Structure 1
């Protein structure tokens, strides 16, 4: 299975701390030989704006600070046929962009299998 595109939407309260994660994930993707031919887009937006952005992304990842909204956002993501998960608290807190990027890739590949 070939991954040619990975568009990741990070969803949070306001976007400040998640913006740092976007930068880290982009750095890791740019340095990765395995991802050099993959079209990658990673953005962070507030949960209140999700309807404005969701159609432009392949994977939705929620910041741990809004995991209480997972069920509501999961319904929307299922309607839009987008895989969704909550970012691991430890990875988020330590700004482990590599692990979060890996999770996004796994979600995308699983979604491709289901098509």
Structure 2
């Protein structure tokens, strides 16, 4: 089971992308828990649920450096979702990005 966390300002704009990623995962028989949260909830959710990868929506790309510093000991892969894939809500490509980061 892969735990994929998407982060945006309020957790709302990524909800459609989460649905598209879940559909892509189902079609590829990949077990994944994909969820979107607000940037203010990251610390709490990581403490309670954990994640295998953290993907940032383009609108919160500025958080990447601080998150990498803050969660360095967790060795949590953190990246910004490709803006074109985000804009087109390309769940398949974003799922590929997440899986590549997980390794």
TM-score of the superposed pair, with normalisation by structure 2: 0.92
Instruction: Report what 2:86 is aligned to.
Output: 92
Separation in 1, partners of 2:39, 2:74: 15
Greater Rg by CA: 1
Q: What secondary structure, in the 3-state scheme, does the structure 2 residue paired with 1:7 have? A: strand
Structure 1: gaps (5+ residues)? 110-115
Secondary structure at the aligned position of 2:75 is classed as coil
Matched, 1:47 2:39: yes
**Structure 2 residue 19 is the aligned partner of structure 1 residue 23:** yes
Structure 2: runs of 5+ lacking an equivalent? none
TM (norm. structure 1) is: 0.83
- Tell me the matched-pair count: 101
Runs of 4+ in 1 over 2 A off after TM superposition: none
CA shift for structure 1 position 52: 1.1
Which residue number in structure 2 is paired with residue 13 of structure 1?
Answer: 9
CA–CA distance in structure 1, aligned partners of residues 63 and 88 of structure 2: 22
> Residue 103 of structure 1 aligns with which residue?
97
| Offset at residue 54 of structure 1 (A) | 2.0
Does the 8 A contact of 2:7 with 2:38 survive in 1? yes
1:53-92 pair list within 5 angstroms: 53-55=45-47, 56-92=50-86
